[in-house]
Copies of this chain bind each other. A is one copy, B any other.
Amino acid sequence: MIRLFHSPLSPFCRKVRLTLSEKRIDVDLQEEKYWEKSAEFLRRNPAGKVPVLQIDGITMSESTAICEYLDEVYPTPSLLPRDPRERYEVRRLVGWFDDTFYREVTTKILTERVIKKLVGQGYPDSRNVKEGVQKIKFHLDYMANLLDHRRWLAGDVMTLADFTAAAHLSCLDYTSDVDWNRSAVVKDWYAKIKSRPAFRNLLADQVSGFPPPPHYSDLDF
């Protein structure tokens, strides 16, 4: 039994879910209230974070380490190219979204608007939300710059970089915080990735108290 302990609006969990699904690995999804830090959960991952994946007799944590493992052991379809320079570019972008984008945008908007309420930490800090709303523009423009010259974010094939970016953006789209009219190439890229079978499961997510907007699951958004 392959099992993923996850949280619906965690971009790190979504990255792993997309990777599993693209590789047609069936997984039992278990929602984890990671902020309650239950003893059993901390035993599975002392770092106290989701995702946690149980597969091949190992209990795994750290989303990028998990995705690299999945790509090595379940190589079809591959989410990392073979050439070291191209692999570097994929990993650079995974880092870009999971660190810089996450810090500047995802936490500023999503943590304030949704996570704080879910975990009972009070009201959004509007300064943070404002900063995130400002910063996402820079990131969408950066993506547009890349996509002006490339079919996918890291090059001519779809990679883990695309899934990482889409994981973050899909969470922010759930709260209507992505201006898809800012760039046609970014919107086209998201439409392509959103219509993949691997994405379906994410589009069905429902977070109690936060219904998604109608366009969230619409493939012609």
Q: What is A's interface to B at a CB cutoff of 8 Å?
A: 46-47, 49, 56, 58, 60-66, 68-69, 72-73, 84-85, 87-88, 91-92, 94-96, 99-100, 142
Contact = CB atoms under 8 A, between A and B. Distances in A.
A148 to B, nearest CB: 15
A72 B87 contact: yes
The copy count of this chain in the complex is 2
B95 A65 contact: yes
Contacts of A68: 87-88, 91
B46 A142 contact: yes
Nearest to A71: B84
B100 A88 contact: no
A65 B88 contact: yes
A49 B100 contact: yes
Contacts of A99: 47, 62
A80 B66 CA distance: 15
Given A61-B92, A69-B85, 7 more contacts: A47-B99, A56-B85, A60-B92, A61-B95, A62-B96, A64-B64, A65-B88
A46 B99 CA distance: 13
Nearest to A57: B85
Nearest to A100: B47
A81 to B, nearest CB: 12
A135 to B, nearest CB: 12
**In the A-B complex, the 9 residue pairs with the closest CB atoms:** A62-B95, A65-B91, A69-B88, A72-B84, A65-B92, A47-B100, A62-B92, A73-B84, A65-B88
Q: Which of A46, A63, A142 has the most CB of B within 10 A?
A: A46
